[in-house]
A = this chain, B = another copy of it.
Amino acid sequence: MNRKSVRAIGIACVLFMLGWLTAATVSAADREKLLSDPGVYGTFAAFRIETDWGKLDQATRIANLTSFRGVVEQHREKLAIDTYLMRGLSDHADFMLRVHGAELKDTQQFLVDLQNSAFGRYLTSVVLLNGLTKKPNYVPGFSEQLKSDLKGPSESGPYVMVLPIRKDTEWWSLSQEKRAAMVQEHTEAALPYQKTVKRKLYHSTGLDDFDFITYFETAKPEEFHSLILALNKVKEARHNRRMGNPTLMGTVRSLDQLIEVLAQ
């Protein structure tokens, strides 16, 4: 075992003694509902950590991270909060939070408390995307076979990719039928990746500078790459005025795992 690993274990011990490495207390049922219901707001907040942070001694860093954990725990009553490590896979941010809530003001209060915390003093908010989950617009018109195919389970993480999309003005002026036909073609092209790439869609027109936030998890980035290639080939893709920019890539990490990385 090398010196690096020994140090990492030492940090984990300290965090454990501080009572951090416990199971999360949030109700699994409520969380599941927030993650699957329509009409839920989803906010993606990506942060950069100031270079000053790295120059603090470790005890101070751990003390500050206690405030991070505290703020997250406090807001888990109302919100489903997921944490991601972006550093090393994205040049846009160091970490990202995905927050689901019934009310955007609860999400705002959480993020304000985070930035007001001791840890928050070292953060810059670099990307903030607000979206909304909705009942599928076009699925009701799909064939029974396609509807049934869409119900299969998807494998999750550890890789996460978030690509916001802005449609062109022509897209919105098309008839519902034409858009439905294109979305069906899109859905069929994505079907072969149903099992290996988990997807979730957020509508964000008016809530930020995009129309959609597309969220993906996979164990195989190569599969995700093939999925996006397949989606680029359908007619609906011609109406993407902007896709990605930023493309946010990272890995799913529990709060404890994320804090461990930041403490080092």
Contacts and interface: CB of A to CB of B under 8 A. Distances in A.
Contacts of A41: 221
B54 A121 contact: yes
A227 B206 CA distance: 9
Interface in A39-62: 39, 41, 43, 45, 50-51, 54-55
Q: How many copies of this chain does one complex carry?
A: 5
A88 B74 contact: no
Nearest to A43: B89
B88 A109 contact: yes
- Range for the number of chain A residues in contact with chain B: 35 or more
Interface of A: 2, 4, 39, 41, 43, 45, 50-51, 54-55, 70, 74, 85, 87-91, 104-105, 107-113, 115-116, 120-122, 124-128, 130, 132, 158-159, 161, 163, 169-170, 172-173, 203-209, 221-222, 224-225, 227-229, 232-233, 235, 237-238, 240, 244-247, 249-251, 261, 264
